[in-house]
Amino acid sequence: MNAKNQLTAQSNLIGEHPKSGFFFDWFECEDTPTTANKKHRKLTNKGINRSTLVDHLSQWIIKHHANENRMARIERKKLILDKHGFAEYMEGRVPFPIKSATTQKGNLGEIILAEYLTETSGLEILVYKLRYNPNVEQSMKGDDLLLFEKQNIQNKIILGEAKFREIKSKKALDDIVESLSKEKLPISLTFISDRLEEMGDDVLANEIDNLITNLHSKKTPVTYVGFYHSEAAVYKTIENNLNSNNNNLVIVSYGENNPSELVKNSFDEALRMVMK
């Protein structure tokens, strides 16, 4: 392979940044120079139209928090209830957080990371965990993100962790690194297996059960990805402070001006789409 075309360490682990499509339009990508303890993919906003961005994110918010059947039930309620009655009925039933800004910020980070890695790695989400949150106003326990190679579950897995900070901090980076140490194994596989069984996919559920054994015996490699969403200069915190002995860890950063506003606008638009 020509040296010019060789993949970066980041691309070897999570795939190359898209060369077309929404993420290409949204993000400028730089895989910064690696060291023994640092693998960092820096994402910045190319200047995509804000309304286009919010529209995309709001659709993802709905997709990750409610399945098609639930959304269909909501649509049927709209036909039955008048506008005031529908709004009254929806109180406490909206399938994503509408009050907790902290939960919104955490959930959006998980959603962006999930959609991004699905495209770059080719791996898949088998269960949209946010659809099963018993309290939408609180962050859901367990792994932030698990991606699988559906055709060969034992081949590879991606374990992701997302954090949002309005003001960047070294501590948040250190927390990501600590939670994605090379000894860390997924804790949500039984949850995923149970949900797959409920959906009638016993074959895939059994594969996940077998994966638990393979992970403990280190037969299946794990790629670890931390996503840090914060202010525009967050990449500097990572470049100056990332220090991990986990060779399979990549930190993906996305910095922008006023990140809290993007979260709020996206959830407001998702709510508007459901209620309109």
In the chain, what are the domain boundaries?
3-275
Going by C-alpha positions, the residue among 182, 181, 183, 163 that lies closest to residue 173 is 163
User: pLDDT at residue 20 above 60?
Assistant: yes
pLDDT tens digits, 32-49: 999 999 999 999 999 999
d(CA 98, CA 1): 50
User: pLDDT at residue 3 above 60?
Assistant: no
Q: Give the model's confidence band at 1: pLDDT under 50 very low, under 70 low, under 90 confident, else very high.
A: very low
Going by C-alpha positions, the residue among 39, 21, 41 that lies closest to residue 31 is 41
DSSP structural state of residue 112: H
Measured CA to CA in angstroms, residue 244 lies from 41, 60, 141 at distances of 15, 31, 24
d(CA 21, CA 43): 15
Instruction: Output 133 or 276, whichever has higher pLDDT.
Output: 133
Which tokens hold the place of 78? 């709209």
Q: 133 near 198, Cβ under 8 Å?
A: no
Dihedral sign from CA coordinates of 84, 66, 226, 33: negative
Instruction: Provide the b/e sequence for 29-62 (b: ≥16 CB within 10 Å).
Output: bbbbeeeeebbbbbbbbeeeeeeebbebbbebbb
| Window from 64-78, 91-105, 108-122, 171-185 with minimum mean pLDDT | 91-105
State mean pLDDT over 158-186.
96
The secondary element (H helix, E strand) that includes residue 145 is strand 145-148
The secondary element (H helix, E strand) that includes residue 268 is helix 259-275
Burial of 95 (0-12, 13-18, 19+ CB in 10 A): buried
Estimate the share of the chain in helix, then strand, then coil, as percent rounded to the nearest 5. Answer: 50, 15, 35
User: pLDDT at residue 104 above 70?
Assistant: yes
